[in-house]
Chains A and B, each alone.
Chain A
Amino acid sequence: MGMEKVDKIINSDYELGFEVNIEEEKAPPGLSEDTIRFISAKKKEPQWMLDLRLKAYHAWLKMEEPRWAKVTYPPIDYQSISYWAAPKKALESLDEVDPEILRAYEKLGIPLEEQKALAGVAVDAVFDSVSVKTTFVEELNKLGIIFCSISEAIRDYPELIKKYMFSVVPMTDNFFAALNSAVFSDGTFVYIPKGVKCPMELSTYFRINAQNTGQFERTLIIADEGSYVSYNEGCSAPSRDENQLHAAVVELIAHKDAHINYSTIQNWYPGDAEGRGGIYNFVTKRGLCEGENSKITWTQVETGSVITWKYPSCILKGDNSVGEFYSVAITRLAQQADTGTKMIHIGKNTKSVIISKGISAQKGQNSYRGLVKMHESATGAKNYSECDSLLIGDRCGAHTFPYLESKCESAQIEHEATTSKISEEQLFYLRQRGIKEEDAVSMIVHGFCKDVLSKLPMEFAVEAKALLDLTLEGSVG
C-alpha cells in the first residue's frame, strides 16, 4: 500500500462511509422455510445442502439469543431483515464489473486492477453476498490449491464440503452460528493440498452494501498435512441509520504439521456518537488443530462495528499443536466490544498464547473474555495470556473476564492483565521533544499494540497502523 493510500485513509472521519447505488435483487424481508428455499434455489444448490440449511433453521427456531456478553442493544427483529441480495448480472471478467463497484473499491483504496500487481496478493472480492470476481485462481490451481467461493465449492467439491463444513462449528453451536448455517449467502473456500506452501497471501474484502441486508458469510479453510496458508480478511461498510446484522462463521482445519495464519482487519461502520446505525457483528470463528504439530494463528485488529461479539478459538486436539490469538480492539463513540478467544487443550504438550490489547475512548466499552481449558488428557500443556487495557477519557470502560479451567496436574496456565491510562509523564516527555500531542498519543498507542501488529502480514500491518491512527483521530482529549 502506498503512502497516498495511507493519507487517504487518515484524512477523514469515516472515509469508508459512502454508499453505492447498484440495482439489487433482494429477497423480501423475513425468515421462513421459503426464504431458505429461495436462497438455495438462487444459488442452484444441490438438495443435500438445502436439507442441511433447513435442519439448521429448525434448530435455530428453538434456540435463544445469547445475552451473557457485556453488550447492550435493542432486540433484533429477525423478520425485518432481508436475507438475500445480489448484483443482478453474473460477471465473468473484470471488464464486466459494474463501474460503480470498481469506483467503490477505488474509494476504499483497493482498485482491483492494482491488486493483481500488489505483491502477489490474490483477491476474492465479495460485494454484498455474491462473489464478483476471483483472481489468481489459475496460478493457484497449478499447485492444486482450491480458492473459490463457498457456493462454487458446494457445486464443485461436494465431498470436501460434506466432510468439513459444520465439523468445527456445528450448525447448532450457538444461536448466530445456527442462523448463519440456515441462510449463509456466500464466502470463501480454501483447500491447501498435502505439503503445499501457499506462495501468496490470500485476501478477501467483504463489503456490506444493500440496505437492511444481513451479511452471512461462511468461510472454510482446510490445510492438509504439512501445508501452510496465510489468509487476510478485511472489511468496511457504508454509513447507515439502521443497524445491520452480521453473523459470519469461519471454520479452519489444520492437519498434521499444517499451519494456518488468519488475519482480520475489521472496520465496519461503528455508528455515531450515540451508537446509531452501527453494524452488529456476531461472529463465530473456530479452528481445529486436528493433527500433531499443527498450528493456527488468529490475528485481529477490530476498530469498527457498534457491537462486537467475537471469540476466534482453537481446539488443540493434535499432540504438540499450537494455538495463538493476537488481538487489538478499539472501542470509541458508543461502541461495545466483547471479544477474546477460547483455547481448548486436549492433546499432549499443546501450547497457546493469548495477547490481547484493548483500547477504550469516549463512551466505548471494551471487554476481553477468554477461556483457557486444560482437559485431563492435556499433559504438559502450557498457556500464556496477557491482556492489557488502555483507557483514554473518563466515560469509557475496560473489562477483563478470563475463565481459566484446569483438570490436568502437569498443565500450566499463566494469565496476566493490567489496566492503565496513557501516563501524563510519557505524553509530556514526547511533547518536550517536539512531538505534537496527537502524534504522541498515537505513538504510545502504537507502542501498546506493537506485540500484536507485528504479527500481521506486512501489507496488512501498514493498513492496520493507518487505521489505528484514523480511528483515534478526535477520540483523544
Chain B
Amino acid sequence: MSTMMKIENLHAKIGDKQILKGIDLKMLKGKVHAIMGPNGAGKSTLSKAIVGHPDVEVTEGKIIYKGKDITNWEPEERALEGIFMAFQHPVEIPGVNNAYFLRTALNAKRKHLGLPPLNAAEFLRLLKEKIKELGMREEMIHRSLNEGFSGGEKKLNEILQMEILEPDFVILDEIDSGLDIDALKKVSEAINKMRTPDRTFMIITHYRKILDYIEPDFVHVLKNGKVLKTGGIEIVDALEKEGYKIFEEA
C-alpha cells in the first residue's frame, strides 16, 4: 500500500512554546486517518504544520508528501499539490465574492496541472451543480466569502470548496465542532462521497460521533506532542471507556 504522507520526528513550536515533540506518522493513500487526543496534545499544530501555517515553526524533522519533502514549502505550493484543509473557523473576507474566490483558486490549480482555465460560465455551471448536490442555497455563492454565514453554512462552504478543488490529501480540522446532528450527517455524507482509492483523509476530532458516520481505517492518539498509540476503531472504544490515560504506559 503506498504512502501518501510520512511525518518523521516532527518537532514544532508556536511562539516560544514547543508543542510537537517528535511526531512519527504514516498516512496511506485512499485511507481515512483519525487523529484524536486531549486539548493541547498538538492536533491543530500538526495540521497547521502540514499546511504551512506561518504561526508554526518546524524546528526538527520532516514532512514527506507524495515522496517530496514539503517541510519548507509555501502554503500555496502545498495547496496546489493537493493538500486541502477544512478550517475549524473559516475566516470572513468582506467584499470578496465567494464564486469569484473559488474560480480563482480552481484556475490556479488547473494552471498548475497544465489545464486551461475555466471561464465564468463553465465555472458557474460546475458550481451550481455542486451546490445543488450539497443542498446549499444558491444565493450563498454571490455573497462575500464566509461573511454572515451560519456555523453550518461555513462548514458546508468548506466542503463545497473541497469538492471543487478535488484535493488528494484532506485535513478536516474539527469539522464536527458547532454542528447539530443533521448538519453533521449532511457534512459526513458529502465527505463519504469523496472517499476514493486515491484520496487520503485526516480527521481531527475530539468526539466519537463523527467517526460513526465517517469510519476511519486508522486511529492515532496524540498526547504531549507525540503519537501515543496507533490502531483501528477499537482504540476509540477504549478511549470512550477509560479516557486517554489508558495509553500512557503503552
How far apart are the CA atoms of A429 and B79 in the complex, in Å? Answer: 11
B58 CB to nearest A CB, Å? 16
Cβ B93 vs Cβ A429 within 8 A: yes
Chain A residue contacts of B93, Cβ below 8 A:
426, 429-430, 443-444, 447
How far apart are the CA atoms of A444 and B95 in the complex, in Å? Answer: 8
Most B Cβ at <10 Å: residue of A434, A444, A447, A448: A434
How far apart are the CA atoms of A449 and B112 in the complex, in Å? Answer: 29
A468 CB to nearest B CB, Å? 13
- 15 A-B pairs in the complex with CB atoms less than 8 angstroms apart: A428-B53, A429-B87, A431-B76, A432-B87, A434-B108, A434-B109, A434-B165, A435-B76, A435-B104, A435-B105, A439-B104, A447-B94, A447-B96, A450-B95, A451-B95
Tally of chain B residues near chain A (CB < 8 A): 27
Chain A residue contacts of B96, Cβ below 8 A:
443-444, 446-447
Q: Flag whether A114 is at the interface (Cβ < 8 A).
A: no
**0/1 interface trace, chain B 88-114, chain A, CB 8 Å (1 if under):** 001101111000010011001100100
Q: Flag whether B144 is at the interface (Cβ < 8 A).
A: yes
Cβ B91 vs Cβ A426 within 8 A: yes
How far apart are the CA atoms of A431 and B76 in the complex, in Å? Answer: 5
Cβ B94 vs Cβ A432 within 8 A: no
Interface residues in chain A, defined as those with a beta carbon under 8 Å from any beta carbon in chain B: 423-426, 428-437, 439, 443-444, 446-451
- Selected from B95, B101, B108, the residue in CB contact (under 8 A) with A448 is B95
B17 CB to nearest A CB, Å? 18
How far apart are the CA atoms of A447 and B112 in the complex, in Å? Answer: 25
B180 CB to nearest A CB, Å? 25
Interface members, chain B 141-190 (any A CB < 8 Å): 144-145, 161, 165
Which 9 pairs show the lowest CB-CB distances between chains A and B?
A447-B95, A434-B79, A447-B96, A450-B95, A431-B75, A433-B105, A425-B91, A431-B76, A434-B80
Q: Flag whether B85 is at the interface (Cβ < 8 A).
A: yes
- Selected from B85, B91, B108, B144, the residue in CB contact (under 8 A) with A435 is B108
Q: Flag whether B198 is at the interface (Cβ < 8 A).
A: no
Interface residues in chain B, defined as those with a beta carbon under 8 Å from any beta carbon in chain A: 51, 53-54, 74-76, 79-80, 84-85, 87, 90-91, 93-96, 101, 104-105, 108-109, 112, 144-145, 161, 165
- Selected from A423, A433, A448, the residue in CB contact (under 8 A) with B165 is A433
How far apart are the CA atoms of A447 and B96 in the complex, in Å? Answer: 5
- Selected from A436, A447, A450, the residue in CB contact (under 8 A) with B108 is A436
How far apart are the CA atoms of A433 and B84 in the complex, in Å? Answer: 7
Cβ B161 vs Cβ A424 within 8 A: no
Q: With A434-B76, A436-B108 in contact, do A449 and B95 touch (Cβ < 8 Å)?
A: yes
- Selected from A423, A436, A437, A451, the residue in CB contact (under 8 A) with B91 is A423
How far apart are the CA atoms of A307 and B214 in the complex, in Å? Answer: 61
Please name the residue on chain A nearest to B164 by beta carbon. A433
Please name the residue on chain B nearest to A429 by beta carbon. B91
B105 CB to nearest A CB, Å? 4
Cβ B90 vs Cβ A429 within 8 A: yes
A341 CB to nearest B CB, Å? 21
Q: With A434-B165, A448-B94, A448-B95 in contact, do A428 and B54 touch (Cβ < 8 Å)?
A: yes
- Selected from A435, A439, A446, the residue in CB contact (under 8 A) with B95 is A446
A300 CB to nearest B CB, Å? 18
Cβ B101 vs Cβ A431 within 8 A: no
How far apart are the CA atoms of A428 and B54 in the complex, in Å? Answer: 8
Chain B residue contacts of A425, Cβ below 8 A:
91
- Selected from A429, A443, A448, the residue in CB contact (under 8 A) with B104 is A443
How far apart are the CA atoms of A430 and B87 in the complex, in Å? Answer: 12
Please name the residue on chain A nearest to B104 by beta carbon. A435
Q: With A439-B104, A443-B101, A447-B144 in contact, do A431 and B79 touch (Cβ < 8 Å)?
A: yes
- Selected from B53, B91, B112, the residue in CB contact (under 8 A) with A434 is B112
Please name the residue on chain A nearest to B89 by beta carbon. A425
Please name the residue on chain A nearest to B111 by beta carbon. A434
Chain B residue contacts of A439, Cβ below 8 A:
104, 108
Chain B residue contacts of A431, Cβ below 8 A:
74-76, 79
B169 CB to nearest A CB, Å? 12
Chain A residue contacts of B108, Cβ below 8 A:
434-436, 439
Chain A residue contacts of B112, Cβ below 8 A:
434
Q: With A447-B96, A450-B95 in contact, do A432 and B75 touch (Cβ < 8 Å)?
A: yes
How far apart are the CA atoms of A426 and B87 in the complex, in Å? Answer: 12
- Selected from A430, A432, A437, A450, the residue in CB contact (under 8 A) with B101 is A430
B109 CB to nearest A CB, Å? 5
Please name the residue on chain B nearest to A357 by beta carbon. B95
Chain B residue contacts of A437, Cβ below 8 A:
74, 76
Chain B residue contacts of A433, Cβ below 8 A:
79, 84, 101, 105, 161, 165
Chain A residue contacts of B109, Cβ below 8 A:
434
Please name the residue on chain B nearest to A451 by beta carbon. B95
Cβ A432 vs Cβ B95 within 8 A: no
Cβ A424 vs Cβ B54 within 8 A: yes
Please name the residue on chain B nearest to A423 by beta carbon. B91
